[in-house]
Amino acid sequence: MDDAVPEAPPDAEAEPAYDPAAPAPLNVPRTPTGDAEVDAALGRLGDADHLATEGHVEVYEDVHRGLRDALTALDARPGPPAPARHPTTTPQRDPSGHPLRSPFEHRS
């Protein structure tokens, strides 16, 4: 009989020590806006949940860039057509080719 105590196998699933600086999900709810580009940018914020603090800046800058691009695109979208020029903006002429005068214009 062997009196030696068997060595305990290393615990492969040991709980890691608590590290307050370790990445932790913020679980901030993100409500869909209905704009696919904005929703994609906001969804990217979830990537920061799995990064150390120093990695957050890159994600935040990327999200900021995406939101800024979405706002810029709003300015680039065509709006209503510009009003047409009034057809009488060119001086009207009488049959002899002289410009017509307004009845309120003083004649010399």
Dist. CA 23–CA 14, nearest whole Å: 19
At 37-87, the pLDDT tens digits run 999 998 998 888 888 888 889 999 999 999 999 999 888 767 677 677 666
Percent of the chain with pLDDT over 90: 20
CB atoms within 10 A of CB 63: 19
Q: In this prediction, what percent of the chain has a pLDDT beyond 70?
A: 67
User: Mean pLDDT over residues 4-32, rounded?
Assistant: 71
In angstroms, how far apart are the furthest CA atoms of the chain?
Answer: 137
Q: Which residues pair with 99 in a beta bridge?
A: 93
How much is the pLDDT for 69?
Answer: 92
- Counting every residue, how long is the chain? 108
